[in-house]
Structure 1
Amino acid sequence: MRYIGNKENILENIYSILQSNEVKGKTFFDFFAGTTNVGRFFKLKGLQVFSSDILYLSYCLQKAYIENNKEPKFENLLKNLPEQESESLFQSPLEIVANYLSSLEGVEGFIYKNYTPAGTKNLSQPRMYFIDENGKKIDAIRQQIENWKNEDLISETEYFILLACLIETIGFYSNIAGVYAAFHKTWDFRALRPLELRTIKFIDNHQKNIVYNDDSMNLLDKVNVDILYLDPPYNERQYAPNYHILETIAKYDEPELRGVTGMRDYASQKSRFCNPNTALEDLDKIAKNTKYKNLVLSYNSEGIMPSEKIIETLKQYGPVKLEQFEYARFKSNNNGLARTKKTVYEQLYILKREG
């Protein structure tokens, strides 16, 4: 999944640095879960993982990837699905369900009506997030998942697994540069393909992993871990508007929309880490009020919090070390300075808690 700040390609580097600095333990809290790639990585390493994010789309991914440890069986649902022709005799239950959902006839639902050219032909600039047929297919799949839940044909875990599959699939058929704050005015080749639901993979760490859909600042008194990992926004751009369509597909709540891009209201999902002053205030609250042995702040050399201010804030609570390495910048940020500067530095501020 394309996501600003996604750590997927640099997690081994981060892990190596943490190991060399003796940042180890059995419990890990991913404070800004996002795509869950960080949580999944440390889950695969065998740690008990806790995670949280204010976005519901992230919560769906957390429920499927982090909290859940098992492949879904879909025992109730499969008894009620029609027989399907299959190219493989060894399909998993999830693959069977995904293929059925992919075969559904499209419907003219909320996504079609608001994010496809035909659905928005009355606008001066019709929205071109999805081709018409894929918009209808997204609606059909999303409505069917909800119907199965309401009919008690799928469990809560199976519900979130199917939502995660849909969320992960959308990016492969979206007519965007990387985020959903804008759409291309001509069609990207990926967006022209007929949508087929992709399945996700599972990790069993034999642990009771716990996830939250909350502002993580509300959870400080619930945290007591060996490793507290913070990966906040680096700049003044809020995450919620960049992923508004995925949030709407996840919730399927038919929100009021505004603007050329059909943005949902995100006033309740703004992060104080998108302001340099409030970011430092919250960083201090986290470092002071949370129980942890190691705090790791994963930041960016172009972030809005100055490095010296970060160190000054954290060192009140123990010795702080800054480690950094160079890596290729996220493509959707390739404007302005990024046209000439192709790399940035990932910064790891490591705080060993004293007292």
Structure 2
Amino acid sequence: MFYTKINNRRYLGNKYRILTFIKQIISENCGDFESFADIFAGTGAVSSAYTDKILYTNDILYSNYLCHLTWFSDEVFDISKVANYINLYNSEIPFEENYMTQNFSGTYFSDKVCSKIGFIRENIENESRSGKINIRERAMLITSLLYGIDKIANTCGHYDAYRKNADLSESFTMCVPEPNANLKHNHCFNEDTNELVKKISADVVYIDPPYNSRQYCDAYHLIENIARWEKPEVFGIAKKMDRTALKSKYCTREAPAAFEDLIKNITAKYIVVSYNNMAKKGNDRSNARISDSQILKTLENKGDVKTFSQPLKAFTTGKSEHSDNEERLFICKVK
């Protein structure tokens, strides 16, 4: 049986490579604390460093929320049961026509792989409805499926487009997630971040919002579609579903106002903001939506601010012309 870890997934803005830097800066500036909130958690890479705390995770994408339930939920699960399902899903499954074959064959996946994905995802839902698996076990199986198809998807790392005339894999392997079984008092959310902060509090609130105009729901629409399994109509060459409700203000001109509203409503001892230094270096889609001066002004209204930086090679679909990219951490000690 193969196993998978939280970082075994491609994702825009993933902080796993600079996690040591983030942990060091937080440790040196925030002292001892009991609770940690990661409110734009993405894959959960940063959250994974704070499983010894009372942990709050949040992401607007349901696919990421399921991953958080997998890695961080405190619900009891049966790992042998999960492994048995994954053994079944890794076996040869007869071909069938289903939602995946009807909409995605020959694009991101082959006809055969589409059939298998559709069967597996439907089976997980049926097992959940019948009470044979609990909420966390369901999340673990869907997460395993998403991690498995990410390895063989015909993309450059996200799903804005697929490569035409590419050789499509005829198989994929699901692996058993390796979550911590002894977590306590953790809370996973799938909400609008600006609304969530009005309802929770933590000693340290970590903020890693989208930086530019590239919406995550566009880049990962197919992963989100499979996670939700509502079987919506898809359209366009990339086969996207309606994502209106998943669009983030942080990718638009409304980002500074949204950020100001967010910070104003946070209850915490320390606020840590992660934001890169793209500013006006690239094309309009790549440029940062919130300027350094706007970040600093907003945080200084909340408390005392320090800034730290770390060189960062950004994840792109091509060659970046910008060799001086940095990830910055703004640490605000709340008044």
When normalised by structure 1's length, the TM-score is 0.85
Equivalent residue, structure 1, for 2:296 = 311
Distance 1:306 1:300 in 2: 10
Equivalent residue, structure 2, for 1:199 = 176
Matched, 1:56 2:62: yes
Report the residue type matching 1:101 in the other structure.
Y
Matched, 1:111 2:87: no
Matched, 1:321 2:297: no
Matched, 1:175 2:178: no
Equivalent residue, structure 2, for 1:136 = 115
Report the residue type matching 2:110 in the other structure.
I
8 Å contact 1:301–1:344 — kept in the other structure? yes
Distance 1:268 1:69 in 2: 29
Distance 1:353 1:144 in 2: 48
Matched, 1:341 2:330: no
Could you report, residue by residue, the CA deviation over 1:185-222 in whole angstroms, capped at 9, with x for unpaired residues?
1326xx52511212211124542101111111111221
User: Following superposition of structure 1 onto structure 2, how do residues 241-280 of structure 1 map, counting pairs within 5 Å?
Assistant: 241-276=218-253, 278-280=254-256
8 Å contact 1:102–1:141 — kept in the other structure? no
Q: Return the match for 1:17 from 25, 32, 37.
A: 25
Distance 1:283 1:207 in 2: 30
User: Following superposition of structure 1 onto structure 2, how do residues 176-255 of structure 1 map, counting pairs within 5 Å?
Assistant: 176-187=155-166, 191-255=168-232
Distance 1:23 1:9 in 2: 23
Shift, 1:70, TM fit: 4.7
Distance 2:31 2:232 in 1: 43
User: Following superposition of structure 1 onto structure 2, how do residues 59-70 of structure 1 map, counting pairs within 5 Å?
Assistant: 59-68=65-74, 70=76
Distance 1:24 1:323 in 2: 19
8 Å contact 2:155–2:162 — kept in the other structure? yes
> Considering only aligned residues, what root-mean-square deviation do their CA atoms show, in Å?
1.7
Report the residue type matching 2:234 in the other structure.
L
SS in structure 1 opposite 2:188? strand
Q: Return the match for 2:125 from 146, 150, 155.
A: 146
Report the residue type matching 2:301 in the other structure.
Q
Could you report, residue by residue, the CA deviation over 1:8-54 in whole angstroms, capped at 9, with x for unpaired residues?
111111111111223541101111121122222211xx111111111
Equivalent residue, structure 2, for 1:125 = none
Q: Return the match for 1:299 from 268, 275, 278.
A: 275
Report the residue type matching 2:94 in the other structure.
E
Equivalent residue, structure 2, for 1:42 = 50
8 Å contact 2:112–2:170 — kept in the other structure? no
Distance 2:49 2:12 in 1: 18
The structure with the larger Rg is 1
Distance 1:174 1:209 in 2: 32
Aligned residues: 317
SS in structure 1 opposite 2:212? coil
Matched, 1:101 2:78: no
- List gaps (5 residues or longer) in structure 1: 74-91, 118-127
Q: Which has the higher helix share?
A: 1
SS in structure 2 opposite 1:113? helix
Shift, 1:342, TM fit: 4.1
Distance 2:16 2:234 in 1: 32
SS in structure 2 opposite 1:309? helix
Could you report, residue by residue, the CA deviation over 1:37-93 in whole angstroms, capped at 9, with x for unpaired residues?
2222211xx1111111111111111111111465525xxxxxxxxxxxxxxxxxx44
Distance 2:274 2:31 in 1: 14
Q: Return the match for 1:7 from 15, 31, 37.
A: 15
Moved over 3 A (4+): 68-71
Distance 1:259 1:294 in 2: 44
When normalised by structure 2's length, the TM-score is 0.90
